[in-house]
A and B are shown apart, each in its own frame.
Chain A
């Protein structure tokens, strides 16, 4: 496909906002949007307009809500048959698989942590910059946070820590930049039950007896979060705490890793 000019891409924004472009054009437009804030704002406006054109719709279908809650609780019944040759529900099936695997991972992680607690870093905790609402901050960034994380990984001077569960499987990744901006990305942490939250800690000080400083609370099912810590870092740890997080942790980390 011939590469489109910025003017041609701008002309496509209306069609893009209505999902009316071909796949190859969509890729090009999205690349353009990642570099042009004005174009992003224009697409946002068009999508708002489209939502105004859509029908108010009346009441939400009750039966679907029952299926949603069943899926959330992990005992989803068989889906209604779909009278169409079109493949559907891959997303829903994926959710079911993830929830089952999450449950298994939680059980495995708890067992592994109990067995291997003695080999985990001895963590002292101190009170500093304790923030309890990282999720709300992340909500204000949306896809921008993903883009920032992707960009950070390739920046000069970026340092990475791969956080592992006690048995060694990588469960999360942290990237921190020289300016102190850092990003946490969950790879394998299982979702926690209601009332629990993951908390991210920066490990600093003496490598033989590191100090843990709270970098923020991640919520029960973290995906991506931003934090900020300026200074020398030995590594990072994640603990499982009572929501909304703690100033001092009494728990062993569920995942820990050194900066490289």
Chain B
């Protein structure tokens, strides 16, 4: 049992065990730790506060109702929650109307000023090591990852936006993530890849 006084110091995995036992204070601590990040990512993707709040609510209610879906051997609680938030946000914005508006917006941004990763990513108060790792990517890799992850586009849409072959974009996303992983290992950031 997770003791109430231990919650601030409890690992995320122990919090989830507490949530599985209907410990509302364990859910509150998980929300305190990760709710801001979930909200920020969803708001960034959807562009609407109300939609982002709905996604946050859904993500944490799912954690409350189905805590056993989180597998600590397959990543951190934060990445699990963010992956869920990202998936739900993408579902919402890929509705046809939103898709058309989003593609027009991103096409306009890309055509008028290039895809400004400085603006889109650099201002996210990233950890220095993550910022350095992102700097190791080629422009093409960064643009593909940025449009896919923060724009919510499929790689086919990214290919259209960047006027590149689909296969090239697909490869750049994977290669860029691989390079990020290597760079973070070099800078000493731990993770499942560093073991």
A-to-B contact residues, CB < 8 Å: 11-15, 17-22, 40-41, 44-61, 63-65, 67-69, 71-72, 79-89, 91-92, 95, 98, 135-136, 138-145, 194, 219-221, 223-224, 243-244
Contact = CB atoms under 8 A, between A and B. Distances in A.
A142 B170 contact: no
8 contacts: A22-B156, A45-B192, A47-B80, A84-B92, A88-B54, A135-B67, A138-B68, A141-B71
Contacts of A81: 50
Interface residues of B, number: 90
Contacts of B88: 91
Contacts of A41: 192
Nearest to B194: A45
Contacts of B175: 14
B60 A52 contact: no
A1 B175 CA distance: 25
Contacts of B80: 47
B50 A84 contact: yes
Interface in B29-49: 31-32, 34-41, 44, 48
Interface in B142-195: 145, 148-149, 152-156, 158, 170-171, 173-178, 180-181, 184, 189, 191-193
Interface of B: 1, 13, 16-17, 20-22, 24, 27-28, 31-32, 34-41, 44, 48, 50-51, 53-54, 56-58, 60-62, 64-76, 78-80, 82-83, 86-88, 90, 92-93, 95, 97-98, 121, 124-127, 130, 134, 145, 148-149, 152-156, 158, 170-171, 173-178, 180-181, 184, 189, 191-193
B148 A15 contact: yes
A44 B155 contact: no
B180 to A, nearest CB: 5
A243 B21 contact: yes
Contact of A13 (B50, B152, B174): B174
A69 B28 CA distance: 9
A52 B189 contact: yes
Centre residue among B53, B97, B153, B156 by max chain A CB count within 10 A: B53
A187 to B, nearest CB: 15
B96 to A, nearest CB: 10
